[in-house]
C-alpha cells in the first residue's frame, strides 16, 4: 500500500510558473496567469480543461479533483460583480475546495507543452521558428514541409472531429502543395497574422478560428487557411500540463471535455 500522492498548491504553482516562465511572458490583462483561486488543499487530483466554466467546474467536482488547470481563466471579462453564473462558478469552486491555475500565452508558446508546438507535431510538422508576434514574444510556430495541402487538411479535420468540431478550410485545391506553413492556435487568423504569413512566404496557415474576412483575404494572398477549431487546437497544452504534474508530483489527472464545436 502506498499513500495517495499529494502536493501543496504552492509547490505545484511554483513548478508550473517556472516551467512556463509565467512572470516573463506578456499577455492580455484578462489572462491573469497563475493561481486564480486558492484552496485549503493539499492537491490530490488535477482536472485539466480548455475553459474555466460551470461545465468544467462541475466536471472537476465529478472527477474528485481539487485543482482545475485551464487555458482560458475566470477573468477574461474583467472586473464584474460575483452574481448569477459568475457567483455560481466561484461558489462551486470554494464549496468544493477546488483551486484554479490558468495559463494562456505562456502555455500557447511553450516549446514542449505548448498548444502550437504540440498541434504541429500532431499534424506531422516540425516547428523551425516562431510565428504570430505579440509584443516581445512569438505565440505560434512556423516551418517548412513538402506535403499535399489536402493531406494536411485531412489530418487537421481528424483532430477537429476528435474534439467535437469539424475543419473549415479556404484555398485548398487538388494537387496543391504546402511548402511553408505557420500555426497559431485559438483565434489565430487575423489581418495581422495574414500579413505576417504573407511576408514570411507562408502558403498554408493553420489556426483555430478567425473572422470571416480572413477567409476572403487569404486566397487573394495565395494562402490556404485551415480552421481546425479554437477549442480543438487548444486541448493539447492543458493535457501536457496534466501529464507533467503526474511526472513531477505523481498526481493523477483527468481531462474535462467541454467542446463548443467552435
Ligand atoms: Zn484561446
Per-residue confidence band for 3, with pLDDT thresholds at 50, 70 and 90: confident
- CA 39/CA 19 separation, integer angstroms: 22
Lookup: cell for 77: 471579462
Cα 4 to averaged position of ligand 1 atoms, centre (Å):
33
Give the model confidence (pLDDT) of 75-112 as tens digits.
999 999 999 999 999 999 999 999 999 999 999 999 99
Cα 248 to averaged position of ligand 1 atoms, centre (Å):
26
20, 123, 202, 240 from 218: Cα distances, Å: 32, 21, 11, 32
Report pLDDT for 2.
67
Cα 208 to averaged position of ligand 1 atoms, centre (Å):
8
Give the model confidence (pLDDT) of 32-89 as tens digits.
999 999 999 999 999 999 999 999 999 999 999 999 999 999 999 999 999 999 999 9
Cα 94-99-100 angle, rounded to 5 deg: 115
Cα 199 to averaged position of ligand 1 atoms, centre (Å):
24
Higher pLDDT, 196 or 4: 196
Cα 249 to averaged position of ligand 1 atoms, centre (Å):
27
Cα 56 to averaged position of ligand 1 atoms, centre (Å):
16
Computed over every residue of the chain, the mean pLDDT equals 97
Report pLDDT for 4.
83
Cα 49 to averaged position of ligand 1 atoms, centre (Å):
12
Give the model confidence (pLDDT) of 201-215 as tens digits.
999 999 999 999 999
Report pLDDT for 91.
98
Q: Which residues pair with 69 in a beta bridge?
A: 48, 101
31, 37, 40 from 181: Cα distances, Å: 28, 38, 46
- The b-or-e profile of 213-244 (16+ CB within 10 A means b, else e) is ebbebbeeeebbbbbbbbbbbbbbbbbbbbeb
Cα 63 to averaged position of ligand 1 atoms, centre (Å):
24
Cα 30 to averaged position of ligand 1 atoms, centre (Å):
12
Cα 15 to averaged position of ligand 1 atoms, centre (Å):
23
- CA 46/CA 39 separation, integer angstroms: 13
Cα 74 to averaged position of ligand 1 atoms, centre (Å):
13
pTM given for the model = 0.96
Per-residue confidence band for 1, with pLDDT thresholds at 50, 70 and 90: low
Cα 196 to averaged position of ligand 1 atoms, centre (Å):
19
3-class DSSP assignment, residue 92? helix
Helical residues (DSSP H) of the chain, grouped into ranges? 9-20, 54-62, 84-95, 105-108, 115-122, 149-162, 191-199, 212-220, 230-233, 236-249
Number of H helices, E strands in the chain: 10, 11
Cα 230 to averaged position of ligand 1 atoms, centre (Å):
6
3-state helix, strand, coil in the chain (%, to 5): 35, 25, 40
Cα 260 to averaged position of ligand 1 atoms, centre (Å):
12
Amino acid at each position: 500500500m502506498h499513500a495517495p500522492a499529494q502536493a501543496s498548491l504552492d509547490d505545484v504553482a511554483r513548478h508550473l510558473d517556472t516551467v512556463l516562465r509565467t512572470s516573463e511572458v506578456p499577455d492580455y490583462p484578462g489572462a491573469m496567469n497563475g493561481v486564480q483561486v486558492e484552496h485549503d488543499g493539499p492537491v490530490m487530483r488535477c482536472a485539466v480543461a480548455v475553459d474555466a466554466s460551470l461545465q468544467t467546474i462541475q466536471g472537476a467536482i465529478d472527477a474528485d479533483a481539487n485543482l482545475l488547470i485551464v487555458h482560458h481563466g475566470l477573468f477574461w471579462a474583467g472586473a464584474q460583480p460575483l452574481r448569477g453564473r459568475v457567483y455560481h462558478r466561484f461558489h462551486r469552486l470554494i464549496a468544493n475546495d477546488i483551486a484554479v491555475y490558468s495559463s494562456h500565452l505562456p502555455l500557447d508558446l511553450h516549446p514542449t507543452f505548448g498548444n502550437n508546438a504540440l498541434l504541429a507535431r500532431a499534424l506531422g510538422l516540425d516547428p523551425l521558428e516562431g510565428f504570430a508576434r505579440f509584443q516581445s514574444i512569438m505565440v505560434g510556430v512556423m516551418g517548412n514541409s513538402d506535403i499535399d495541402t489536402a493531406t494536411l487538411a485531412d489530418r487537421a479535420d481528424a483532430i477537429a472531429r476528435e474534439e467535437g468540431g469539424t475543419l473549415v478550410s479556404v484555398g485548398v485545391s487538388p494537387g496543391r502543395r504546402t511548402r511553408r506553413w505557420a500555426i497559431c492556435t485559438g483565434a489565430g487568423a487575423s489581418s495581422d497574422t495574414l500579413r505576417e504569413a504573407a511576408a514570411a512566404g507562408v502558403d498554408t496557415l493553420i489556426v483555430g478560428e478567425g473572422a470571416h474576412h480572413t477567409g476572403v483575404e487569404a486566397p487573394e494572398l495565395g494562402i490556404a487557411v485551415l480552421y481546425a477549431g479554437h477549442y480543438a487546437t487548444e486541448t493539447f497544452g492543458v493535457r501536457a500540463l496534466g501529464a507533467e504534474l503526474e511526472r513531477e508530483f505523481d498526481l493523477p489527472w483527468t481531462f474535462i471535455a467541454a467542446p463548443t464545436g467552435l
